[in-house]
Amino acid sequence: MNRQGAIVNETSFKMRAKSIVLAAAMAMATGGLAHAADMAVKSPKPAPAPPFFFVNDTSVSFTYFFDYSDPGVAGSSDVVPGGLGDTGNKFGMAQGSLDHFDIWEYGVTLIHMELNQYSKKDPIGGDPGADGSREFFGFAQETFGLNELTHSKAFTTPFTNDVGILVRLTAGTQNHFLDEETTQYAAGVNFDFTLPKILGGSFQAAITAYKEHTNNEFNACGNLGFGVAVNGACAPGTGPFSGNRDFEWTWKIFTFYALPLGPLLGSWADAAHIVNILSVTGPKGTGISNAQCLALGCFGPLGAFNNSESKTEVFEDVRLSLDTSKIFWGKPGIWDTYVGYRYWLNMYGTNHNAALFAGCTGGACGFPGSAGAPGTSIMSTVYVGATYHFK
């Protein structure tokens, strides 16, 4: 029985007892005990049913990243086809996003969608002078709590508040030179850890199995540029590259930590909190089939296996967020403003030590006239933004 039900039952008992006492007194005054038995006792109102959503929040955000990267997009790509060899490339990127978060009877739902506008330094189709490329990215994630599914506290321990089953579907597309479309799947076990009171906040970690399928123009035939094997038509007998890359199953770890600063720093910091998101993805192979290897040339220091072989990918995003509407208008939970830092090693699983990402020009990249893009598979940037929560 919950606390609310206990209170209702206690109130009901007191009301019923008082009614009986009053009825008996009236019966004695009138000399008719039978009259007391006929008196109706008013029943208390039943306890309201618990809401389907315990938390339900939908928000929109705008974020600006100052030094974004795009693997393989060399410097001067907005001026020279394929960019200038052996030059890095950093640029601004504006992001608009829509988020929905809710906690319901059996778990937690998280839906995220974002539209990214890149600088002209990363042009549409890789065409110099074109507008900056655009990317749509989104995921839907559901975590089913095992305590909730079993209607028990079996998964509450000294170390965990709950254990859950996490499933996640991700999809994205970008109209840059690679013209990439990606689908990702992840499923595994999520742990909601118990933290010492001195730390506070919430810490969760999930261990999942991960699968990715991508279609892009990496090592395609066409105009010279990042990853293009041949200028013009494919070399005789090699056949075209379909662009399909079916990566191997691998592991992926998700972690989330939210720390309210009020308990640590005092009431003046009640409107501030820190959020840290960290994910680590294991190597997933090249995604290139044996048949494609015959067309692309997978071996040797400059072959597809060298430049396409994926490595462990590390993504971390940490931000300091302020409840601005609480600070200025005394209305918490409406406007947030934030400043953050994002670090991404081996973006999309690329190998930052491979020739195309470590720095090369012309024949050193494997193809005459092609350009490497050093440093572009590692992103390190500061960002600022604001979020509006619908109420």
Residue 382: which residues within 8 A CB-CB, separation 6 or more? 65, 66, 67, 339, 340, 341
**Residue-level pLDDT at 193:** 96
What is the overall mean pLDDT for the chain?
81
Predicted local confidence at residue 379, as pLDDT? 96
Residue 6: its pLDDT value, please?
Answer: 38
Structure tokens at 298: 């997978």
Give the long-range contacts of residues 144-151, CB within 8 A, separation 24 or more.
144/106, 144/107, 145/106, 145/107, 145/108, 148/105, 148/106, 148/107, 149/106
Query: Within 13 A of 74's CA, how many CA atoms are on the CB side?
Result: 29
pTM of the model: 0.81
Q: How far is CA 360 from CA 65, 280, 307, 375, in A?
A: 27, 28, 12, 11
CB atoms under 10 Å from CB of 196, counted, come to: 6
User: 351 vs 322, which has greater pLDDT?
Assistant: 322
% of the chain with per-residue pLDDT over 90: 54
pLDDT confidence of residue 15? 37
- Amino acid code (one letter) for 5: G
Q: Which residues contact 296 (CB under 8 A, 6 or more apart)?
A: 219, 229, 238, 241, 288, 303, 304
Give the pLDDT confidence of 296-322 residue by residue, as tens digits: 666 655 566 666 789 999 999 999 999
Query: Residue 175: pLDDT above 60?
Result: yes
Q: What is the pLDDT of residues 50-87, one digit of tens each?
A: 666 678 999 999 999 999 999 888 889 899 877 887 88
Q: pLDDT band for position 260 (50/70/90)?
A: very high
**How do strand 221-222 and strand 230-231 relate by DSSP bridges?**
parallel
Integer CA distances (angstroms), 325 to 253, 319, 334, 336, in order = 34, 18, 6, 7
Q: Residue 153, exposed/middle/buried by CB under 10 A (0-12, 13-18, 19+)?
A: exposed
pLDDT of 30 over the 50 cut: no
